[in-house]
Amino acid sequence: MKSNFFLIPIFLFCGIILFSSCKKDEVEPELPSCFDQKLIEFDLQGTCSTGATIDKYIFRAETVYTLNPGNCGADLTTEVIDEECNTLGNLGGILGNNKINGHDFSEATFVETVWGN
């Protein structure tokens, strides 16, 4: 009976190790090839050390991405680009713009955050 007492902690320890090593593989979002250069430019613009994101949306039946520079200042704009890295417009700024090509961006459907710091 005494030997069973010592086996219980060993089994518990092995169980914890076994279950903690099982992690779901995270899949990196796939970005268009033009984003390699766009990410470098975005990072070099001096984005905040935290809070900057690139988000994927569906806007007017097209996949678009927003490049949000974070909370560095109140008047920064968020660039909206298409899958070919063409700039469609900017949101926010001192005027609080919320339109891209004359359409309210609140119509956009958020898909996922593809990058953030």
Q: What is the DSSP letter of 30?
A: P
Q: Tell which wins on pLDDT, 25 or 77.
A: 77
Instruction: Give the model's confidence band at 64: pLDDT under 50 very low, under 70 low, under 90 confident, else very high.
Output: very high
**pLDDT tens digits, residue range 80-93?**
999 999 999 999 98
Tell me how many helices (H) and strands (E) the chain has: 2, 7
For residue 116, what are its two tokens? 């953030």
DSSP 106: G
pTM of the predicted model, to two decimals? 0.69
Provide the pLDDT confidence category of residue 44 given band limits of 50, 70 and 90: low
Alpha carbon 84 to chain centroid, angstroms: 18
The CA distances from residue 117 to 16, 49, 57, 87, 108, in Å, are 31, 7, 19, 22, 23
Quickly state the pLDDT bin for 35 (edges 50, 70, 90): confident
pLDDT at residue 113 tops 60: yes
DSSP-assigned letters across all residues of 2-27: HHHHHHHHHHHHHHHHHHHT--PPPP
